[in-house]
Every structure is written in structure tokens, then in C-alpha cells.
Amino acid sequence: MAGFFPDVPERITFGGLTSTEPLSYKVYEPDRLVRGTRMEDHLRIAVCLWHSFSWPGSDVFGTGTFDRPWLAPDVDPMDGARARLEAAFEFVSTLGVPFFTFHDRDVAPEGRSFAESRSNLESVVAAIEEHMARTGVRLLWGTANLFSHPRYAAGAATNPDPEVFAYAAAQVKVMLEMTHRLGGANYVLWGGREGYETLLNTDLRREEEQLARFLTLVAEHRERVGFTGTLLLEPKPQEPTKHQYDYDTATVLGFLQRHDLADVYRVNLEVNHATLAGHSFHHEVATALATGIFGSIDANRGDPQNGWDTDQFPNSVEELALALYEIVRAGGFTTGGFNFDTKLRRQSMDRNDLFHAHIGGIDTLARALLVAADLVEAGDLERHRTARYAGWDDGLGADLLSGGLSLPDIEARVVDDGIEPRPTSGAQERLENVVNQRIWAADRER
Ligand code: XUL
Ligand code: CO
């Protein structure tokens, strides 16, 4: 195929587990029905334009290593932006996944003024519109980059300078409108520098108030323009800041409830952000689902030996199967999906490494979905959980929850009824065996 990936077939197809073709899916079959829903519609996979097409492979010790001609210093930035879109849409449609995601500044260069940046973005969005119409690829979410430019060094909404707040608010207004124009299913706000480097110069009370005002303005504008997609906050505990306010799901929920925003915002959970917060990814997904703020997922993982955000492609079926079990059990995504906010390793400099990385991640998700569907269908975990809490459905449990009993009433009941609780097994190891059995069996046909 001509274009940026000349030696890749026009479409990555399903080859199956015995295939020796590296550029084929081993498990992912978009049309395969899993519990009555197509695999593609369960997973709603997206490719991100920033790490995959706008990052040159630089790190804090070295410059870019990747073959990304549109990023070369002698290329006019707007010509580069158009070339990048050609390559990105070629990639996404060859991969055969339904969605992409982008920040305003990944696709269009920053201008010399706010108005010039907006006009750059408008013309690139017009080109995106054409690529979307031509390829059928859709937008899972848009977002504004409020962390790269030096003006945002001390945060965007939480900056001590109100002019920075205003600039960021104007930038989000534009990008929310662009996301709406492109039919985006969600809009994400990752508070990259909404946090602090040192408490010695930070007014926590003011910064919380500023962030709440900012998010209220965004929610109001969503209504004003009639954007029906979901607004998502992306929890992360730190990096680049020492501390990020959207630390984890529970912290975000508390913040939303304090500011009457819990009905409007949901969370975009990232696997390694959970790890950095000292949680399992399973914990973050289960917490978001239990509290009604689950939205979408960034599927990239960390490295267990590193304390920073390596953004690696997912490769653990177990980790994702546990998360997908919660998602499938709860009825699946509504507007969310799995976004590959993933980075190649710096040495993966062949063009095709981008394909190998995504294919592996997508197959991992597909296989995790089969495990999750099997676990839901078999019902062992659900039956155990239901039986474990059965005491709360009626009798004493229902009376305790109804609010009709005071502590003295409860004491009397313990004495009068001769209550003597007997501990029962939590059966953790048996349940872990159930999960493993399904992982080992996941490829039998259903
Ligand atoms: C950073 C991160 C971001 C957001 C979008 O850790 O995950 O790429 O997903 O701004
Ligand atoms: Co992310």
C-alpha cells in the first residue's frame, strides 16, 4: 500500500491464534458476537494522535528517534499538520478500529496569538472532517492541551494568575466546540498541571475554588452548545506535578460532590494512573462503577519497576480481564471506550512498530473481553458475591439500613436475639482459581 506505511496490507485482518503473520489479529474479530454484542462495539477502540503521531520519541535525556517526517524542523507547521493527518488516518483505517482521539495542539500548531492558534485549529479540523467522512473513523474524545506551553507551568485553571485561567477557559471553549462539530462521543479534561510542586507557594483553598469554577463553566458551555457527549476528568496522582488534585477516582468524586458537579462529570481511567496512585486498575474501575461516575479508559500500562508514566501498550490479559469483568457485568460502555494513550519504546523506530504495538494491545483487550464475558456467563463470582451479602436483603440487614434503629435499639436486638456472628470464608483463593480457569479457557468458541 502506498502512503506512510507502504509494506502493510490495506487492512489488518483476523488470522487466529495459529497465524504466523505478525501483522494480523490473533483474537480481535470486530464482528464476533460476545454476549450478543459485536467485539468492536464492546471495546470501542481508539488510537491517540499525540504519542503515536506528534511525539518524536524524545525523552528527558535525548532527542527524537522516530521516523515522523512531518515533525522535521524544516517542514512548514501547517503542511506538517496535514501530512500527519494523512498518516494518522491511513494508520487508523488500516488497523480497522472505529475511533481516534486528539488534543488541539497535537493536530494544529500554536500560533503567535490566541486568534491565530484558533484559526490554525479551525483549518485542521476542516481537514479532519474530510478524513472522517472518507474513512468512517469517528472521534471518541477531544481535549485541550493545557500543560505543554510555558504559560501553563503553574497550572491552567489553578494558576495563581487569572489571565492564565482566562486563556485556558477560552482554549477549552474552542476545543469543546470543535469536538462537538466532529461528533465526539466525549470531551476529556486531564488536569496535567492542576496541582502543586510545593505547598510553600500554594493556596489550596483558592486553587480548589478556581478548578470548580472552571469545570462549572465547561459544563455550562456543554449545555449552551448542545454537546451531548460526556465530560470526563482523568485522575492521576502526580507527574508532571508533585501532586495532582484529581488524584484518583475517590478524590475526584469527593471534589465533584463538594461542587455540585457529580451529575455532569465522569472519569476517564488510565491503567498506569491507577498504579501510580497505589491502586490496582481493577480497583479504579470498580470504584467508578460502584459510584456511578465510570466513563472511559486509557488502556496504557506502567512498568512495575518504574515510578513514572511509561505509557506502555497493554499486555496483561489478567489485569484487563478483571476490569472488563466489571464493565461487562455493569452493562458495558455508554459513550466511553478503550483509548490507546500509549507510547512506543524509544528504540521502536520502524514505522511498522506502531502497528505491532497496537495489534498486540488490541488482541490483549479482545482476549480479556472473552475472559470477562465467560466470567459473567458462568456466574460463579456473582453467585458468591450475592450469597455473601444476602443478609442485607431482609430481616436484620434491611432493618439496620432502613434508619429506623438507633444504637440503643441495636444493642437491645443483639442481646434479645442472642446475636453471635460466625465468620465465614471469603473464598479468595477459590475465586482466583475461577478467574484463572476462565483465562486458560477463553478461546473456546461460544
Ligand atoms: C497524561 C495523559 C494525557 C491525557 C489527555 O498522563 O494521560 O495524555 O490522557 O490529556
Ligand atoms: Co491518558
pLDDT digits (tens, 9 = 90+) for 252-287: 999 999 999 999 999 999 999 999 999 999 999 999
**Residue range 50-82, pLDDT digits in tens:** 999 999 999 999 999 999 999 999 999 999 999
Contacts of 21 (CB under 8 A, 6+ apart): 15
Give distance in angstroms: CA of 403 to centre of ligand 1: 43
Cell (9 digits) for 408: 440503643
Q: How far is CA 431 from CA 109, 382, 438, in A?
A: 52, 10, 11
Give distance in angstroms: CA of 145 to centre of ligand 1: 9
Nearest ligand atom owner, CA of 302: 1
Predicted confidence at residue 2, as pLDDT, reads 62
**Residue range 13-26, pLDDT digits in tens:** 999 999 999 999 99
Contact 14, 28 (CB under 8 A): yes
What ligand 1 atom has the least distance to the C-alpha of 339?
9
Measured by CA distance, the residue closest to atom 3 of ligand 1 is 190
**pLDDT tier, 1 (very low <50, low <70, confident <90, very high otherwise):** very low
Residues of the chain above pLDDT 70, percent: 99
**Ligand 1 cavity residues, CB under 6 Å:** 103, 143, 188, 190, 234, 236, 270, 298, 309, 341
Measured by CA distance, the residue closest to atom 5 of ligand 1 is 190
Rounded mean pLDDT, 94-117 = 98
Choose among 298, 209, 236, 227: nearest CA to 264: 227
Rounded mean pLDDT, 162-172 = 99
Q: Which of 99, 270, 309 to mutate to test the pocket of ligand 1 (most atoms within 8 A of CB)?
A: 270
Give distance in angstroms: CA of 419 to centre of ligand 2: 50
Predicted confidence at residue 443, as pLDDT, reads 64
Measured by CA distance, the residue closest to atom 8 of ligand 1 is 341
Predicted confidence at residue 385, as pLDDT, reads 97
Q: Which of 101, 147, 247, 298 to mutate to test the pocket of ligand 1 (most atoms within 8 A of CB)?
A: 298
Burial classification of residue 446, based on how many CB atoms lie within 10 Å of its CB (0-12 exposed, 13-18 middle, 19 or more buried): exposed
Give the β-pairing of 230-233 and 186-189: parallel
Give distance in angstroms: CA of 13 to centre of ligand 2: 27
Q: Locate the DSSP E strands across 42-98.
A: 45-48
Rounded mean pLDDT, 220-237 = 98
Rounded mean pLDDT, 407-434 = 97
CA distance 399 to 263: 30
Give distance in angstroms: CA of 441 to centre of ligand 1: 34
**pLDDT tier, 304 (very low <50, low <70, confident <90, very high otherwise):** confident
CA distance 257 to 58: 39
What ligand 1 atom has the least distance to the C-alpha of 147?
10
Predicted confidence at residue 446, as pLDDT, reads 44
CA distance 11 to 151: 42
Average pLDDT score over the chain? 97
What ligand 1 atom has the least distance to the C-alpha of 145?
10
Nearest ligand atom owner, CA of 269: 2
Q: How many CB atoms are closer than 10 A to CB 364?
A: 23
Burial classification of residue 46, based on how many CB atoms lie within 10 Å of its CB (0-12 exposed, 13-18 middle, 19 or more buried): buried
Predicted confidence at residue 225, as pLDDT, reads 98
Contact 245, 208 (CB under 8 A): yes
- Say which DSSP state 138 is in: E
Residues of the chain above pLDDT 90, percent: 97
Give distance in angstroms: CA of 18 to centre of ligand 1: 35
- Does the pLDDT of residue 376 top 60, yes or no? yes
Rounded mean pLDDT, 326-344 = 98
Domain boundaries, the chain: 33-378, 382-445
Predicted confidence at residue 359, as pLDDT, reads 98
Nearest ligand atom owner, CA of 50: 1
CA distance 416 to 4: 79
- Does the pLDDT of residue 445 top 70, yes or no? no
The CATH topology of domain 33-378 is TIM Barrel (3.20.20)
Residues tagged active-site: 103, 106
What ligand 1 atom has the least distance to the C-alpha of 50?
8
Cell (9 digits) for 205: 483553598
Predicted confidence at residue 80, as pLDDT, reads 98
